[in-house]
Structure 1
Amino acid sequence: MVKIYTKTGDHGETGLFDGSRVAKNDPRVETYGDVDELNALLGVVLGFIRDDEEICNCLLTVQR
């Protein structure tokens, strides 16, 4: 695993895509994590149900 050092310290904050800094427990950060986890789980489900085209198409739409 590649280690990334920003030399800015942690202080309980993280950076958002727009460059702003927010607390790690900010609802946006938690939501990004939840959406990422859901997307990964949908990918796993898609791997198991490739034979059902209708459901696959629905899940792919949700993933996008």
Structure 2
Amino acid sequence: MKVTVDEDKCCGAGNCVLLAPEVFDQREDDGIVLLLNAEPAGTEHARVREAAAVCPAGAIRIGEGA
């Protein structure tokens, strides 16, 4: 799994951080997503997929490579 985020699309809702805190965080100043791990372990895949699905801005993309 390869995760990317579009910071320009992010609205700072924080759902991704709640669902997958090992993969996502938020900037202190404006709440925009920070990608902590672009290639998360298999144990994180379901949570990352859920985070992408519930992201209100559609800022999280998941590729199945790497």
Give the alignment's TM-score, normalised by structure 1.
0.30
Say which structure, 1 or 2, has more relative contact order (CA 8 Å, 6+ apart): 2
Which structure's residues are more often strand, by fraction?
2
Q: Which has the larger radius of gyration?
A: 1
